[in-house]
Amino acid sequence: KISFINEIANLCDCIGADIDDVARGIGLDKRIGSHFLNAGIGYGGSCFPKDTRALDFIATLNGYDFDLLKSVIDVNNRQRLLPVIHLAKAFPDLHRRKVAVLGLSFKPHTDDVRESPALDIVPLLLQEGARVACYDPIAGNVELGAAVRVDTVWEALDGASAAVLTTEWQEFRDLDWSRARALMADEPIVFDGRNALDREALVSAGFRYMAVGRPGEHRG
């Protein structure tokens, strides 16, 4: 269901539809329900990734080509590329631009970073030449390469050209984005990788807002 709704979100991006409306409609069907229909940069953690790969391995070991499951895994891996793809298109050159990565744990209310999308996104941003500052309220120790881990969200945002929301902590949902805008560089971008933020509030604060399957870019 997660990879399915992410594929629908990618289609929404192509045609200008809003995944929030589409997911709401799909969820009204009681045979499907609304759980796990939140589009974003993909699942992580200790269970979903390991279990899907294990099931695929069992299928392969027994001579069965489990195409649907392979697609689920492929889609989930591809979703993690979206923030980098969008930012690379938005800026002629990411070299030396500061990007704030908000969240390192794979979901809120845990310090678990196993299979977290952020751990793929950070090195991809570094490969593009960005300076990366990461902040998470409680996530455990993690290798971030040349990226810097800071103690507050404000340190991460200070001077940043873009912020990428990778974990939907309530701290980020409730953030004073007007204050954030004042700290950041000119014409900053927020990539909402969890479709968890109030886009109208961000646009009003002066951000370019990008998300997964939500209509086009918005500029305040």
Active site residues: 47
| C-beta of residue 152 within 8 angstroms of C-beta of residue 142 | no
How far apart CA 163 and CA 175 sit, in angstroms, is: 12
| Cα 174-175-176 angle, rounded to 5 deg | 120
For residue 211, which phi and psi values (nearest 5 degrees)? -155, -165
- Report how many helices (DSSP H) and strands (DSSP E) the chain contains, helices first: 10, 7
How far apart CA 104 and CA 165 sit, in angstroms, is: 10
- Pairing verdict, β 189-192 and 162-165: parallel
Query: How far is CA 28 from each of CA 10, 21, 22, 25, 205, rounded to the nearest angstrom?
Result: 21, 11, 10, 5, 33
How far apart CA 161 and CA 51 sit, in angstroms, is: 37
- Find tokens 């629908």 and name the residue: 8
Strand order in the sheet with 189-192: 148-149, 131-135, 98-102, 162-165, 189-192, 208-211, 218-219
